[in-house]
Amino acid sequence: GAGVSQSPSNKVTEKGKDVELRCDPISGHTALYWYRQSLGQGLEFLIYFQGNSAPDKSGLPSDRFSAERTGGSVSTLTIQRTQQEDSAVYLCASSPLEGNWGNQPQHFGDGTRLSIL
């Protein structure tokens, strides 16, 4: 079956522009996560959607960052008025919530590499 799909795979844009990054989770996965990874570094949590509950936005670095998840499936991460420090790889992951969901691994997409000129 298909894994987590992210688009675009690469995005180059000018400072000050808005960007939208898309994530299609694995079908049936009700939990969805966004992370940011700077070059060769660890993962920085951004936002987490769990079923129909209000998202956990505690990791969003500024109010320029927002995310939506429509219909409990596809998610879009939006960065407004991009800055050079926003350059990074943005990773999306999903996991199921049935059973003892806390022990379920997260399944990652290949990420969107964002470069701000």
Partner 1 sequence: AQSVAQPEDQVNVAEGNPLTVKCTYSVSGNPYLFWYVQYPNRGLQFLLKYITGDNLVKGSYGFEAEFNKSQTSFHLKKPSALVSDSALYFCAVRDTNNAGNMLTFGGGTRLMVKP
Name the one range near partner 1 by CB under 8 A: 14-22, 37-45, 64-72, 78-86. 37-45
Which residue's CB is nearer to partner 1, number 65 or number 90?
A: 90
The contacts found for 38-45 with CB under 8 angstroms, 24 or more apart, are 38/88, 38/89, 39/88, 39/89, 43/91
Name the one range near partner 1 by CB under 8 A: 14-22, 41-49, 65-73, 80-88. 41-49
* Nearest distance from C-beta of residue 11 to partner 1, angstroms: 14
41 binds partner 1 (CB under 8 A): yes
18 binds partner 1 (CB under 8 A): no
99 binds partner 1 (CB under 8 A): no
111 binds partner 1 (CB under 8 A): yes
Site residues for partner 1 per CB under 8 A: 4, 31, 40-43, 45, 48, 50, 56, 91, 93, 95, 97, 100-111, 113
